[in-house]
Amino acid sequence: MWRFLQGLILLAVMPYAQATALTLTEISPGVYVHQGVHEDLSEGYHGDICNISVVIGKNGVAVIDTGGNLKVGQALHEAIRQLTPLPILYVINTHVHPDHVFGNAAFIADHPQFIGHAKLADALERRRDSYLRSNQQWQGQDFAGSEIIKPTLAVSDALEIDLGGRQLALKAYPPAHTSTDLTVYDTLSQTLWTGDLLFIERTPSLDGDIKGWINAINQLKEVPAARAVPGHGPVSTHWKEALNDEQRYLQTLLNDVRASIKKGEVMEKAMDTAASSEKGKWALFDIVNRRNVNILYPALEWE
C-alpha cells in the first residue's frame, strides 16, 4: 500500500518537478530573455508567443512576463532555478493580455510581489471569464492549472524596485496598446522592456487607443536605452528604428481607416484595404491587421 501511495505522490509532483526548462539567452550580465514564437492568439496556440525575461540582482530576481499558461510558467521557474538559488522577489506583468500573464501561477509558492499597472487588476477581472474560456478552448490540456493572478503591487505612474545593486524603473502609461501598459528600465544594463508597446517583426495588435499608442512611442524614444526587449520579436539595439517602423504602421492604419470612413466605405471594405501598403513587412499581417481595423473603425466613426 505504501508503494502505491508513493507512486500516486510521485505522479502528482512530476509535472512540476520534471518541467523542461525554458530556453533563456543572456543578453547582458544578469539579464536573460526567452523569445516567443510568432503564433496567433487563437485555436492551436501553445502559450509561448511573448517575450519573457529574468533579471538577477545581488538580493533576488525579477521576472518580466510569464507566458500564456502554467506549463510555460513552470518551465520558466525551472530555468531560473538552474541559473540562481536567489529568491524570486518580483513578477512583473507588462499588460493584461493572456499570453503574458497566465504563467504567473507557477510563482505563487515563491511569494513574490506581483506588479502591474494600476488598472490591471480590474482589467483582468473583467476579462476573467472570456480569457479562461477562450484559452482553454485554444490550448486544451496545455492550459490545465492556469489561473489569473492579480497584482499585489500596482503602478499608477512610476515605481522603482531594488534587486540589490540593480534598480528597475517601472512606468505606467495612459491607454495605448491596452489600458494597462507598463515598461521596465534597468539602469545597470541600459535595457528597456517595452511590453507590447513595441512589436518587432510581428504585426502590432491594437486593444486600446491608437492615438495614445503613437504618443507613447514618442515618449519611449526619449529613454536612454542601449537595447530594448519588445513584447514580441527579437531583442534589438536598433530599437528606435523599430519604433519608427511600428509608428509608421499605426499612423498608416489610422489614416487609411479615417479615409475609408470619410468616403463612406463599410468596415468590411476597410478591413481589406486599410494599411495594405504595410503588407509583406509584418508577420501574421492578414490576421492581425483585419482585427485591428475591426477595433479601430467603430472607434473612429464618431471622431
Confidence bin at 101 (pLDDT 50/70/90): very high
pLDDT at 302: 86
Residue 89 pLDDT exceeds 90: yes
Q: What are 301's three cell numbers?
A: 466613426
HEC readout, 63-111: EECCCCCHHHHHHHHHHHHHHCCCCEEEEECCCCCHHHHCCHHHHHHHC
Residue 57 has pLDDT above 80, yes or no: yes
Q: What does the pLDDT look like over 160-216, one tens digit per residue?
A: 999 999 999 999 999 999 999 999 999 999 999 999 999 999 999 999 999 999 999
The answer to whether residue 5 scores a pLDDT higher than 70 is no
pLDDT tens readout for residues 251-274: 999 999 999 999 999 999 999 999
In a domain, 267, yes or no: no
Rounded to whole angstroms, the Cα distance separating 292 from 275 reads 10
Average pLDDT, the chain: 93
Q: Confidence class of residue 64 from pLDDT cuts 50, 70 and 90?
A: very high
Residue 292 lies in a domain: no
pLDDT band with cut points at 50, 70 and 90 for residue 303: confident
Instruction: Residue 170: name the closest of 151, 147, 146, 149 by CA.
Output: 151
- As a whole number of angstroms, the distance between CA 58 and CA 302 comes to 53
Say how far apart CA 65 and CA 157 lie, in whole Å: 19
Burial call 151-163: b when 16+ CB within 10 Å, e when fewer: beebbeeebebeb
Query: For cell 491607454, what's the residue?
Result: 175
What is the mean predicted confidence (pLDDT) over 224-231? 98
Asked whether residue 146 carries a pLDDT value surpassing 60, the answer given is yes
Whether the pLDDT of residue 49 is over 80: the answer is: yes
Whole-angstrom distance, CA of residue 30 vs CA of residue 46: 28
Q: Across the strands, what pairs with 113?
A: 90
User: pLDDT tens digits for 275-295?
Assistant: 999 999 999 999 999 999 999
- 287 neighbors 265 (Cβ within 8 angstroms): no
* Domain presence at residue 303: no
**Nearest of 75, 65, 52, 71 to residue 96 by alpha carbon:** 65
**What is the pairing mode between strands 227-232 and 191-199?**
parallel
Please indicate whether residue 302 or residue 62 has the higher confidence score (pLDDT). 62
Q: How many CB atoms lie within 10 A of CB 251?
A: 15
- Residue 160's nearest CA partner among 77, 237, 65, 90 is 90
* pLDDT-based confidence at residue 15 (cuts at 50, 70, 90): very low
Taking the whole predicted model, whether its pTM rises above 0.85 is answered as yes
Domain count, the chain: 1
DSSP class per residue in 231-252: EES--BS-HHHHHHHHHHHHHH
Is residue 244 in a domain?
A: no
Residue 290 lies in a domain: no
pLDDT band at 44 (very low <50, low <70, confident <90, very high): confident
Is a pLDDT exceeding 80 seen at residue 16? no
Residue 258 lies in a domain: no
Residue 285 lies in a domain: no
Residue 210 belongs to domain spanning:
2-238
**Residue range 80-95: mean pLDDT, rounded:** 98
Instruction: Tell me whether residue 162 is in a domain.
Output: yes
Nearest-angstrom CA–CA distance, 118 and 181: 10
19: confidence class by pLDDT, cuts 50, 70, 90? low
- CATH value at residue 28: 3.60.15.10
